[in-house]
Homo-oligomer: A and B are copies of this chain.
Amino acid sequence: MYLCGIDGGGSKTLCLIADEKGNIIGLGKAGPSNISEVGLDGLIRTIVQSIKSALRGDLKRLDFLCVSLAGVGGRNRWDTVYDLLKKCDLAIKLTLVPDIYAVLYSATLNGNGIVVISGTGSIVAGIINGKLRHRAGGWGYLVDDEGSAFHIGREAIRRALRIYDGRDRGDTRLVNVILNHFGVNDLNDLVDLIALGRIKVKDIASLAPHIIDISNDNLTAREIVKNACKELVKGVIAVYEKMNMDLPIILGGSLLLKSKRFRDLFIDMLKRKVPSVQIIVPKFEPVVGALIMAYLQAGINISSGQLMINLEEQIAKEYRNLYISGELHE
């Protein structure tokens, strides 16, 4: 039996295929699968590519496929993407879920928690028994996504432009970091490339780690990063208060998982508001959570027996990159 989990985000798409005993058959990789950026056709192409990549070039019909995507929270988008995927006939049983679920199941098998993601985009979601109860943010880069890498990158460019054209005063080192990152000579060229669509949302998001890097010495960068954390905390508090029960906070997204400085700042701000809060860094990449959901769909009990042991052993041996980066467990 072929069970498959796919995790598609703003910068890359991972695909993990295993058998019913927890033996990994393959791990595949493809480009971004953000609908707003690659379009619906691009999304389907990316997903098919990721499966082919996991099967070393083949495309076999799967038994259980769970696709986890950023940006399918809304009914219209879920329906549209589900129908398109269904038409591709990639699997006997297809499940499509928003990315928050893959993060949840990469951290806990019981389906309870408040997931906070800060990657290219951002969202906070309170989930009980695998069902979304309350959310904050995650409405997309055009109108929201505060506390995300895109938010930080965009704010940095916005502030740099304001300093450049005289609307604000500020430290011009910020401008240099931006020019270096994008390999352009001046901000005019940068804006040009953005307008022509050659610098996309994910590229603007890729600036965020550099802004976090200089946030110790650079006042403008510090303000941007602190504000992003504050917005994430605001979202967590909004959901936490509505949930009306103690749930662990599960971290997801590249900024919270891969940037120790950003994560520490976020945890520090959150603990000042809710000192007793339990914070979980997932053991695995979200794609493992998506695979676990495929097992749940198949009615296979993963919390007992050999299956999880097999998966963990193989990840430890051959697919170490599916552990959340070691840097986290300091």
- Residues of chain A having any CB pair with chain B under 8 Å: 35-36, 39, 71, 73-77, 80, 134-137, 139-140, 142-144, 154, 157-158, 161, 165-167, 187-189, 191-197, 201, 204, 231, 234-235, 238-239, 241-242
Copies in the complex: 2
User: Would you list 30 pairs from A and B whose C-beta atoms are within 8 A, ordered by A residue?
Assistant: A35-B195, A35-B196, A36-B197, A74-B189, A74-B191, A74-B195, A75-B188, A76-B192, A77-B192, A77-B196, A80-B196, A134-B165, A136-B165, A137-B161, A137-B167, A139-B187, A140-B194, A140-B195, A142-B154, A142-B194, A142-B201, A143-B154, A143-B158, A143-B191, A143-B204, A144-B158, A144-B161, A166-B242, A167-B231, A167-B235
Most buried by B among A36, A139, A166, A235: A139
Closest to A157 in B: B143
Q: Report if A136-B166 is in contact (Cβ < 8 Å); known contacts: A161-B144, A191-B143, A192-B75.
A: yes
Additional 7 contacts, C-beta under 8 A, given A77-B192, A77-B195, A134-B166: A75-B188, A139-B187, A140-B195, A142-B204, A143-B157, A143-B158, A166-B242
Docked CA distance A232–B144 (Å)? 22
Contacts of A192 in B (CB 8 A): 74-77
Docked CA distance A160–B192 (Å)? 31
Docked CA distance A188–B76 (Å)? 9
Docked CA distance A201–B194 (Å)? 15
Q: Report if A137-B165 is in contact (Cβ < 8 Å); known contacts: A76-B192, A189-B75.
A: yes
Q: Report if A238-B167 is in contact (Cβ < 8 Å); known contacts: A143-B157, A189-B74.
A: yes
Contacts of A235 in B (CB 8 A): 165, 167
Docked CA distance A154–B143 (Å)? 6
Instruction: Please state if B166 and A241 are interface contacts (CB–CB under 8 Å).
Output: yes
Q: How far is the CB of A73 from chain B (nearest CB, A)?
A: 8
Instruction: Please state if A166 and B239 are interface contacts (CB–CB under 8 Å).
Output: yes
Contacts of A194 in B (CB 8 A): 140, 142-143
A76 CB contact (under 8 Å) in B143, B144, B193? B193
Docked CA distance A234–B167 (Å)? 6
Closest to A160 in B: B143
Most buried by B among A165, A235, A239: A165
Closest to A140 in B: B195
Docked CA distance A143–B187 (Å)? 12
Top 5 nearest A-B pairs (CB, nearest first) are A74-B192, A166-B238, A76-B192, A136-B165, A143-B157
Contacts of A71 in B (CB 8 A): 195
Most buried by B among A73, A140, A142, A239: A142
Instruction: Please state if A167 and B136 are interface contacts (CB–CB under 8 Å).
Output: yes
Contacts of A188 in B (CB 8 A): 73-75
Contacts of A242 in B (CB 8 A): 166
Docked CA distance A165–B167 (Å)? 33
Contacts of A234 in B (CB 8 A): 167
Contacts of A137 in B (CB 8 A): 161, 165, 167
Closest to A242 in B: B166
